[in-house]
Amino acid sequence: MVTIVIGKINAGKTSTLLKQYQSERKGDGFVAVKVFDAGKAIGYNLRRLSSNEQTPWMIDSDHYKNDFKQWGTIGQYYFDLELLTDIENILKEMVRSNVSPIYLDEIGRLELASLGFDAIFKYLLAMNVDLIIAVRAEFVDEVVSHYHIKEFQKVVLTV
């Protein structure tokens, strides 16, 4: 089953995933935690739920200082392609170890452009594992259609 946590920007999608994991203490996965500088969001770290370990994932172009050996871009952000490979391998190991549910924050513009978590998300769907994902409200219909998600439940956040 796929559970989609839906909300606008800053509606609390990541916080909802964190609270769900912390209350249930089941499964594992990753959430994208905003990084701030002087009160302004300048990037995201990926945080593994089971260990709380955080790793830089995306950095605003104004703050990027050749932080990644291999990088891609989406909008104003540079993202770490090596970290993406590591995350994909960790998620595949979760599937092999029957970890359930698997959390992934977030599926959206990057994935719809065949970047970011696109390949691993397709794999997770094909493996029919229980997923809890975050999706911005404006992308829900497109994500459901693009990935041919037939059965899912929604958790809709309102601000």
- Distances in Å between the Cα of 113 and the Cα atoms of 4, 44, 48, 108, 135 are 19, 19, 24, 9, 15
Mean pLDDT of the chain: 94
Write the CATH number for 53.
3.40.50.300
Query: What would the pLDDT profile of 97-120 be if each residue is shown by its tens digit?
Result: 999 999 999 999 889 999 889 999
Strand 131-136 vs strand 102-105: parallel, antiparallel, or unpaired?
parallel
User: 10 Å Cβ neighbour count for 86?
Assistant: 13
Across residues 38-45, what is the average pLDDT? 93
Res 159 pLDDT > 70 = no
The Cα 108–Cα 146 span in angstroms is 11
Residue 1 pLDDT > 70 = yes
**Percent of the chain having pLDDT more than 70?**
99
pLDDT tens digits for range 51-98: 999 999 999 989 988 888 878 787 888 889 899 999 999 999 999 999
Q: How many domains does the chain have?
A: 1
Q: Which domain holds residue 85?
A: 2-156
pTM: 0.93
